[in-house]
Amino acid sequence: MVRQESWPDGWDALGLSPKDAFEELDNGLLQAVQEAAAAAGALYVLAPDRQTLYLHAQIGLPAGAVPHRSRLVRPSPMPVTDAVRDGCAVELGSWEELATRYPRMALTAPQYCAAAAIPLMGDETARGAILLFWGPEDHERLAAGQRDRLEAAGRRLGRIVEKAADADATLTARPRPRNLQRSPLHAPTRDENLAAAALAERLPDGFVCLDRDDRITFLNQKAAKFLDSSVSELLGATLWAAMPWLRTAHLEDEVRVATTSRKPTALLVRRPPDVLLRIHLYPDAGGTTMRVELCDELLSARSSPPGPVEMSPRTGRMHQMLYLATALAEARGVRDIADQVCCQIAPVFEADSVAFFLAEGERLRLIGSTALDPDMFEDSDSTALSSTGFSSRLITHVLLSVQPQFISSPEEARRIAPGFISSSGSNAWAVLPLLASGAVIGSCVLGYEHPRTFPGDERAALVSLAGLVARALDRARLYDLEHTLARTLQQSLLPHTLPHVAELDLAARYLPATRGMDAGGDFYDVLLLDDGTVGAVIGDVQGHNVAAAVLMGQVRTAVHATAGPRPSEVLARTNKVITDLDPGLFVSCVYAQIDLHKQLLSVASAGHPPPILQTLPGNAEVLDVPPGLLLGIDAAADYPAVTVPFPPGSVLGFYTDGLVEEPGVDIAESIAALAGCIAAAEYSDVDDLADVVVQLASPQTDDIALLLMRSKGWPMS
């Protein structure tokens, strides 16, 4: 447990200690697994950035077996991220459904046939989620009562996380996820423990017990002898720290796969220099029992020293590589690629630090890192790849050679790049140029705290991985280029300022969707038709790409060209123009004409969410405007208009569906809630009201355009 004084002061304001909060979350996970009769479970907490989910605790999953699950970046398609985004449970009743909807997760969890994610709900939004797994022999769909109890538990835990966030106290600072243990059905007595230990000593084989953290909790004398150590040295240590030669024998991956699938496994390993051992693995939900045999008969049967033992494939790493490859395939922009690489590659290859660079022209820019080595990458943003003045920088030297380098020690690094000095703790590196179309487009650098060698299979895996990352990065750069172009085009086609109208206060907002979405076609405009008449339009082009942004500009131009007559005629003529262009996209739109002298408002709609009108303080209504066909479908479509009073002090609100659409909520309810917000809002001017209104869209999943118009009259509320 982290010491109390290392936590933020917000815990005092919360009235809750980290220990108490952790115990509440841990107990909630244990109870959820028990309630659902699940084989395994995990609890994730949403970080303050609202983009990252951290693994807080797990049960029934071996430590380190799925390191990529310890940090999930939204909007990665996973049951947990979807449950947090939508605020409702995600249940997957079969392995086929799991593989179809979430292939990345299915690649690394083939032993589970079903899963469910329960959100931790705060007052308004999800603050994390519980993830449950069932095996093929123990899954039944959650009954209604079970689901209700799990969701109630999720709400209770969500409020704890929310209170901590409100007090500026984080629940994500735990240095590593906690592996929880189910309470044993029978707690052995002291005499029973002594009898079991005596039994293990009488048997001819060695026995080692591992907990879910791969830590040795018991071993007999024969096991210590076979493993060339002593009971006191091994007891309490992790298997891999006490016996690093087991990693060379690929045992770590075998243990991880066996414990995850809970299937007994047997394999041969060689203890240096030439002792052959047969190890049997017997895993269950509480840990793993290892039975160790000395294969003297195999050695004595050979007339010559045994050759290399045939080792099984590194199945665990293969699953992790497949997971990373799937994540790269799903990532969109360069930032997504950097997040996935920095998050996933370190645990797969046991690196202590990772740095990810992007080549921009003749420069190299750091775009992502974990545990960054400052000596190696300082001022990398200004490093010219073609410059000879940076030969002491190892990364520049390697990139200029366009060959991957596996550097086992600082001495070897200095032979490659004379003058290189590292004093930050890294003493071995894998430097991987990322090549596409014969050019360096980036680099990935793995740092290791201790000097080490890089076996041939590991080098091959890293080089192959660099190829996957390079192709994903090349694709992501093109995506970002199109994304930036579309955003720039869209922004340039929106009005830079609203016109000045003496009798009308105007305010507008345009909010692009959260990171990871393409550009949209939301637009708005205000037109001065004559001294006392104003036209206003808002619309949304189908799609999120450059074509949508271009069509948005064409619609605005058509509205400008046809403005002046009644709104029904403006939409009919604009529809004819768009239909003749045949862009293959459709447009929703509302056009209004305000006669300030006659105090009348006339509105027509082409399938767009209806405007909201407030004519009296504290009272706002949704205008009942007939929703005509979307623009671009039928050139002969009609767009009936309605005319209503627009007295001084009236407020008219136009908006696009990004403001009111919410998964699982009827859009009519959301529009009514928006009208209620406008009616109840306290503001000094329409700019303040616009700020209040856009707060409704949290979290935001689509572009938002908002246009507010107020006829000057009675004072603001």
State pLDDT tens for residues 590-603. Answer: 999 999 989 999 99
Q: Which residue has the higher pLDDT, 321 or 341?
A: 341
As a whole number, the mean pLDDT across the chain is 77
Q: Is the CB of residue 602 less than 8 Å from the CB of residue 567?
A: yes
The C-alpha angle 148, 152, 154, rounded to 5 degrees, equals 115
DSSP letters along 63-86, please? TTSSGGGGEEETT---HHHHHHHH
Specify the pLDDT at position 419.
64
CA dihedral angle for residue 316, residue 318, residue 321, residue 322, rounded to 10 degrees = -110
Q: How much is the pLDDT for 169?
A: 61
- Mean per-residue pLDDT for 128-132? 91
Mean pLDDT (whole number) for 458-473: 83
**pLDDT-wise least confident of 10-19, 423-432, 502-511:** 10-19
Closest CA to 533 of 569, 555, 487, 564: 564
Q: Coil, strand, or helix at residue 182?
A: coil
Higher-confidence residue of 449 and 393: namely 449
Task: Return the H-helix or E-strand segment holding 125.
Answer: none
What is the pTM for the complete model shown? 0.49
Q: Is the pLDDT of residue 249 over 90?
A: no
Q: Is the pLDDT of residue 15 over 70?
A: no
Assess whether pLDDT exceeds 50 at residue 139. yes
Specify the pLDDT at position 186: 56
Which residues pair with residue 607 across a beta bridge?
Answer: 589
pLDDT computed for residue 423 by the predictor = 52
CA–CA separation, 252 and 312 (whole Å): 12
pLDDT digits (tens, 9 = 90+) for 181-224: 766 555 667 777 788 888 888 888 889 888 766 788 888 888 88
pLDDT band at 104 (very low <50, low <70, confident <90, very high): low
Closest among 598, 510, 525 to 563, alpha carbons compared:
525
Given a cut of 90, is residue 571 above it in pLDDT? yes
Q: What is the rounded average pLDDT of the residues 515-519?
A: 47
The reported pLDDT for the residue numbered 513 is 67
Which residues have CB under 8 Å from 690's CB, separation 6+?
A: 507, 508, 509, 706, 708
How many Å apart are CA 380 and CA 357, to the nearest integer? 9
Q: Give the residue-averaged pLDDT of 51-61.
A: 81
510 phi and psi angles, rounded to 5 deg? -130, 120
Mean of pLDDT values over 278-297: 79
Rounded mean pLDDT, 238-246: 74
Tokens of 459: 């080098």
Residue 391 predicted with pLDDT over 50: no
Give the residue carrying structure tokens 């045994």: 306
The one-character DSSP state at 611 is P
Instruction: Give 203's contacts (C-beta < 8 A, 6+ positions apart).
Output: 220, 222
**Which residue in 687, 675, 615, 680 sits closest to 648, CA to CA?**
615
Residue 577 scores a pLDDT above 80: yes
Q: Which of 259-273, 582-596, 599-613 has the lowest mean pLDDT?
A: 259-273
Which pLDDT band holds residue 653 (cuts at 50, 70, 90)?
very high
Instruction: Please tell me the predicted confidence (pLDDT) of residue 14.
Output: 53
pLDDT per residue over 70-97, tens digit each?
A: 667 666 778 888 899 888 888 887 766 7
Confidence band of 583 (pLDDT split at 50, 70, 90): confident
Alpha carbons 211 and 407: distance in angstroms, whole number? 35
The pLDDT value recorded for residue 595 is: 92
Q: What is the reported pLDDT for 713?
A: 62
Rounded to whole angstroms, how far apart are CA atoms 146 and 35? 7
Q: Is 618 left (phi over 0), alpha (psi -120 to 50) or beta?
A: left
Which residues contact residue 166 at a Cβ distance below 8 angstroms, ignoring those fewer than 6 apart?
A: 14
First to last CA, the chain: 52
Instruction: Band the pLDDT of 296: cuts 50, 70, 90.
Output: low
Cα separation, 573 vs 295, whole angstroms = 89
What value does the mean pLDDT take over residues 368-380?
56
Residue 157 has pLDDT above 70, yes or no: yes
Long-range contacts, stretch 303-310, CB < 8 angstroms, 24+ apart = 305/274, 306/274, 306/276, 309/249, 309/268, 309/269, 309/270, 309/276, 310/268
CA dihedral for 365, 444, 354, 329, sign (positive or negative): positive
3-state secondary structure of 119: strand
The CA distance from 345 to 353, in Å, is: 10
pLDDT at 379 over 60: no
Residue 357 half-sphere exposure toward CB, CA atoms < 13 A: 33
Residue 624's pLDDT is what?
A: 92
pLDDT-derived band at 710 (thresholds 50, 70, 90) equals: very high
3-state secondary structure at position 216: strand
Q: Quote the CA–CA distance of 372 and 172 in Å, as a whole number.
A: 20
CB 576 within 8 A of CB 638: no
Q: Dump the DSSP string for 277-343.
A: EEEEEEEETTEEEEEEEE-HHHHHT-SS------PPP-HHHHHHHHHHHHHHHH--SHHHHHHHHHH
Of residues 39 and 400, more confidence is placed in 39
pLDDT value, residue 200 = 82
